[in-house]
Chain A
Amino acid sequence: MKKSLLGVLSAALIATFAVPAAPVLAAAPWAIEKAAAPLKGTKIKVLFLDRPGYRAIIKLLPEFEKQTGIKVNYEVVPYENAREKQVLNFTSKGDITLALVDLVWIGEFAENGWIVPVDKFSGDASITDPNLNLPGFFPLLLNAFGSWDGKVYGLPFDNYSGLMFYNQCMLKDAGFDRPPQTWDELMNVYAPKLTRPEKKQYAFALQSLRGETQSADSFMRFLWPFGGSLLNKDFKSNLLSKESQAGLKFRQDLMKYMPPGVVSYDHAEAVNALAQGQVAMITEWSAFYGTLTDPKTSKLGKCLGVAPEPKGPAGRLPALGGFSLAVAAQASPAQQKASWIFTQWATSEAIARPYVEAGGVSGRMAVYKDPAVQAKFKYVEPMVASWQQGVPEFRPRFPAWSSITEVVAEFGSKMMLGEVSIEQGAKEIGSRMEETLATEGYYDGKKKKLQ
Chain B
Amino acid sequence: MEQTIIEVRNLTKQFGDFKAVNSISFDVRKGEIFGFLGANGAGKTTAMKMLIGISIPSAGEAKVAGFDVYKETEQIKKNIGYMSQKFSLYDDLTVRENITLFAGIYGLTDTEIAARTVELTNRLGIADEADKLVASLPLGWKQKLAFSIAVIHNPKIVFLDEPTGGVDPITRRQFWDMIYAAAAEGITVFVTTHYMDEAEYCNRVSIMVDGVIKALDSPARLMQQYNAKSMEEVFIILARGAKRSDN
Q: Do A and B come from one complex?
A: no
Interface residues of A, Cβ cutoff 8 Å to B: none
Partner-A contacts on B (CB < 8 A):
none
